Chain A
Amino acid sequence: MTSHENGNGTGTTSLFRAGASAPRGGRFALFEPPPVDAVAVEERAAALAKRSIKKATKVAGLKLAISMMDLTTLEGKDTPGKVRQLCQKALRPLDSDGSIGPCAAICVYPNLVPVAKEVLRGSSVKVASVATAFPSGQSPLAVKLDDTRRAVDLGADEIDMVIDRGAMLVGDYGKVFDEIAATKEACGPAHLKVILETGELGSYDIVRKASEIAIAAGGDFIKTSTGKIQPAATPPVTLVMLEAIRDHYYATGRRIGMKPAGGVRTAKQALHYLVIVKETLGDAWLTPDLFRFGASALLNDVLMQLEKERTGNYQASEDFSKD
């Protein structure tokens, strides 16, 4: 049950367990992260939800959130037609107001990358593709790497990979690390987002450890979820990951991005996440280069709130195009 003889990830774990003799502060750099107190981290995340975000601050926050969105469709029934429509939505989220948007990226399966690429050519909107046997990751490494290379060949600017949660849970951190590092290499120029699937990891301590591994192995972004598992992104799990990013920044000066995905459905939630980022990592992270929302239903709620701020009235949901 615990064998992972499908790739090159065996026998390397001891390398990453040297934290006990690390020098002062050394544990912040690698795999001996500080423990996470669940009660306190949830309390802190909840406290940040109490920031009162009104009027101009709200409008600015909502526009920022739109610019950070990875509009996502990851279904078996996805078609070129559906993806083209989603791309149009990303380019111009609100037909009546061209100043809103565009979104940061479109996130699709590899087969649909060329379709998205064609519509988005010449725009700032990136094409992200999931890869590495998304969403379970339960395939041999060779298949995952091939999946990644093909998605990049098809034109993906960004790759959203999944980690091997099974390996993470049995403590085979070396395998997790090596797969991420190999995927990063296979990405070439494409940016790599590493999905931890926090809903399957079971504790904040493991989320924290997986974050450190993903960062150390070369991930440009760390991402909470595939959207296929509940719970997906939550404020406290995002906070834990942002703390890992902060410690890495303290230790190396390198800025890693963060992407909560799944479960962010309302404008109010989006603003809460922005508050968490603002007060944990500060100004530098309030940009689509370092923070993204992975969402499908969020955009229209944000548009509805923006229209409400502009006109003073709530519009019907039918007034906003579905995709």
Chain B
Amino acid sequence: MATSLTKTGGTDIERKVEPAGLDFGRAWEYAPAPEASDHVKIDPKYGLFIGGRWVSPRSGKYFQTISPSTEQVLAEVAEANAQDVDDAVTAARDAYDKYWSKLKAADRAKYVFRISRAIQEKARELAIVESMDGGKPIKESRDVDVPLAAAHFFYHAGWADKLAYAFQGRKARPLGVAGQIIPWNFPLLMAAWKLAPALACGNTVVLKPAETTPLTALLLAKIIEEAELPPGVVNIVTGAGETGAAVASHPDVNKVAFTGSTDVGKRIQRALAGTTKRLTLELGGKAANIVFADAPLDQAVEGIINGIYFNQGHVCCAGSRLLVEESVHDVLVRKLRDRMQTLRLGDPLDKNTDVGAINSKAQLERIRELVASGEEEGAERFSAPVKLPEKGFWFPPTFFTNASQSCRIAREEIFGPVLTVMTFRTPDEAIEKANNTMYGLSAGVWTDKGSKLFMLATKLKAGVIWGNTFNKFDPSSPFGGYKESGFGREGGRQGLAAYLEVE
């Protein structure tokens, strides 16, 4: 029997909502629908892609990359040391001087278009490998990561011969060699975000993928090889933190672009102090997703789910703080609980999987630690009733209610499928709470009232503000942060500036 949602007061006892009366999952259960992966070929061993050739690392060392959903080894990948990175930067410098800076812009565009088309042609293979290496559901890699990666190359290819129009009356020149370090949450897509503008603007690149998810960047290297880009225009060096540090600190790199943790971002910024290198940082976030009482509530629930459980919450702009107007808190939480019953966690290659595996053991441990702190600090935990597979790294979609602004789960980036729900009473209070964070990457606002939406958009200190939606990306829309979420923009006309000297 359902409980009436009509309340006469607001005491703590009344705020507790009875378990939802809706029941999901026993009738008409979906059978497994795995995407076939037997035709996908992953090499047992990958070298470094330097100067248009696959070379063995000077270090002689290789590391394993595993599937976080099965813990099986997928491949061995070369570990680049400082010498390897030096080779890569030298190759990039040569390519810049010899070929790339001499090429007509329209011809540069052709290469970038070619990469875009090849990604579309190999979309299925890329999506499968992305899900195997990173743990994300095939639904997302197939419908989001890979198409968006192609779209970024396509969009930026169009800019290559029109840069004079991007900055009216000013002259724009490439910077030279760009060193780019990308994270493990969207491995192929982040490579596209970095490579596409750099190449279209006339720079050459040394790119370092994350050590837990190097495979799609290496497949992209093969695509670049097949697209016959001049040797050395794109170099891909795999490795962990030390390799990244070697890329960022190499004296012949003109520009460093980093996406990752705030901690590492700060270290890079310190290392680059006093040099002439240009820097853009896209770091952490603790985004507020603000739901007003006049919001389209059922759609807001979808936006909340998408905001925090998309890609297991491994999203720097995830809507990890839900701020709800107090008058609709109970009904919204009830809807959220029922909706979470329908989330399907499991095999990332199953086409019906909504939530995949946590990217790595280390990340799983961090999520567990922060969730434990939430419980200790007295917040009330709800986790979706899912069965976790025995092998691999998994965490159930979770949210906390009765959390306060001062809790660690309300302040620190969890980077996992964990949402912290808090309430507000007035728009001013919503703004104040939303801005009460060291981060400022994104925010969401849910209201049917346009004037309120625009008022909030001017007052929220965040680089991206979504109105009645969340986690929407487009290559034409600049993305980037305020405060400790970093600086510089990626995408759009604004994103071009990061790869150009504008006089």
Contacts and interface: CB of A to CB of B under 8 A. Distances in A.
Interface centre among A39, A40, A57 (most CB of B within 10 A): A40
Given A24-B7, A39-B468, A57-B30, A249 B298 contact: no
A57 to B, nearest CB: 4
A200 to B, nearest CB: 22
A43 B23 CA distance: 24
A243 interface: yes
Interface in A11-47: 23-26, 28-29, 34-37, 39-41, 43-44
Given A24-B7, A282-B24, A53 B342 contact: no
B2 A23 contact: no
Given A34-B297, A39-B469, A284-B23, A28 B331 contact: yes
Contacts of B469: 39-40
A56 interface: yes
Nearest to A283: B27
A216 interface: no
Given A41-B299, A53-B30, A250-B2, A23 B351 contact: no
A57 B299 CA distance: 28
A25 B5 contact: yes
A283 B7 contact: no
Contacts of A110: none
Contact of B352 (A43, A51, A286): A51
Given A24-B5, A24-B6, A251-B2, A60 B302 contact: no
Contacts of B341: 282
A252 interface: yes
Interface stretch (A140-148, A223-231, A273-281): A273-281
Contact of A253 (B21, B327, B334, B468): B21
B351 A40 contact: no
A57 B28 contact: yes
A60 B331 contact: no
Nearest to A44: B302
Nearest to B326: A24
Contacts of A251: 2, 4-6
B466 to A, nearest CB: 11
B296 interface: yes
A246 interface: yes
Interface in A46-65: 50-57, 60-61, 64
Nearest to A281: B22
Contacts of A36: 296, 298-299
Contacts of A34: 294-298
B30 A40 contact: no
A249 B30 CA distance: 25
B178 to A, nearest CB: 35
Interface residues of A, number: 41
B390 interface: no
B362 interface: no
Interface in A169-218: none
B30 A51 contact: yes
A51 B28 CA distance: 13
Interface in B1-30: 1-2, 4-8, 10, 21-30
B501 interface: no
A40 B468 contact: yes
Given A44-B302, A253-B1, A64 B31 contact: no
Given A37-B296, A40-B468, A243-B298, A28 B23 contact: no
B342 A40 contact: no
A259 B448 CA distance: 28
B337 to A, nearest CB: 11
Contacts of B24: 278-279, 282-283
Contacts of B30: 51-53, 57
A23 B352 CA distance: 40
Interface in B456-501: 468-469
B27 A250 contact: no
A56 to B, nearest CB: 6
B438 interface: no
Contacts of A250: 2, 5, 21, 331, 334
Interface in A280-295: 281-284, 286
B76 interface: no
B231 interface: no
B33 interface: yes
B139 interface: yes
Contacts of B302: 40, 43-44
Interface in B280-330: 294-299, 302-303, 327-328, 330
A50 B139 contact: yes
Contacts of B299: 36-37, 40-41, 44
B28 A274 contact: yes
B28 A60 contact: yes
B6 A25 contact: yes
A151 B468 CA distance: 46
Contacts of A26: 6
Given A34-B295, A44-B302, A52-B33, 16 more contacts: A23-B8, A25-B7, A25-B330, A28-B331, A35-B295, A37-B296, A37-B299, A54-B33, A55-B31, A57-B28, A60-B28, A64-B28, A250-B331, A251-B4, A251-B6, A283-B23
5 contacts: A25-B330, A25-B331, A53-B30, A246-B22, A282-B22
